[in-house]
Amino acid sequence: MKNQGDGMTGFLLAAVLLIAAAFLIVMMVRAAFANTVREEVLTFDDYPAQIDDLTIFFISDIHRRSIHDSIIHEAKGSADVVIIGGDLTEKGVPFSRVRENIKKLIEIAPIYFIWGNNDYEVDIQKLEELFREFDVTVLKNNSAFLPTFDNKIVLIGTDYPNTSDSMQAILYSIKKTAFRIVLSHSPDLAEKVTDSDGVPLILSGHTHGGQIRIFGMGPYEKGGIKEYQWTTLFVSNGYGTSLLPLRLGAPAETHLITVKKG
């Protein structure tokens, strides 16, 4: 004869599992829509001694999100430049939302943009019109010196997919006395940097830090700072998400990165 207590135990176990699953989903949604500005300081021996520290507001992989006002308020007045590390948008995102995001970011500082894979899913002509409207500097296998830093800091932007050949072609035309920051949507480029390239810092996104990490493991490494033999790689978890608006173990983030002499 079946014990009535077995049925109650099964019911309670199912209820506990259901509550735990609901709690996990809530936590994953909260992580996906976090509005965090992480502050980082990176020091380099070869940073020019005669100029001020450079503070970058770095945001990557916005995708479908609308940038929260709290992020703008926190970064405004603290950054010298804004760098969008690719995937500003994706297929199906209304241009009104993209325009509003750019309008907010320009309040912080002048914007520099590199292309991500999802940016090519939209009407490129319309996107370029928005860039012209807000005077966004697009770095597509080219470079731009920062005029307010006595032209001693140069941003090198690679197109997607990133290749070492295109990066090295740009580097070849730039004097080595300038402090070089490479912007590469995918972090894979860091593995191809050599001593002769003279690239102390690379900023990347693309991977979302794995987005959903089970017991600390995911399809990609979590965002952060990684030291290579010839360069330092800074990878952001990104601000938006792919497919489902869920994150686990790799919460959404933006960054205030101060680069200075070490």
Strands (E), 75-220: 81-84, 111-113, 137-138, 142-145, 153-157, 179-183, 201-204
User: How far does the chain reach from its first CA to its final CA, in angstroms?
Assistant: 76
Tokens 């072609």 found at: 169
Q: What pTM did the predictor assign?
A: 0.93
Q: How far apart are CA 127 and CA 117, in angstroms?
A: 14
Look at strands 153-157 and 142-145 and give their pairing.
antiparallel
Dihedral pair phi/psi, residue 98, rounded to 5°: -60, -45
When comparing pLDDT for 177 and 244, which is higher? 244
Contact 41, 258 (CB under 8 A): yes
Q: Is residue 157 helix, strand or coil?
A: strand
Which pLDDT score, from 0 to 100, does residue 17 have?
80
Q: What mean pLDDT comes out for the span 125-133?
A: 98
Look at strands 54-59 and 254-261 and give their pairing.
antiparallel
Which pLDDT score, from 0 to 100, does residue 68 have?
98
Q: Nearest to residue 262, comparing CAs of 9, 42, 63, 101?
A: 42
CA angle (21 as vertex; 19, 26 as ends), nearest 5: 95
Mean pLDDT of the chain: 94
Q: In which band, very low, low, confident or very high, does the pLDDT at 194 lie, cut at 50, 70 and 90? A: very high
pLDDT for 132-163, tens place per residue?
999 999 999 999 999 999 999 999 999 998 77
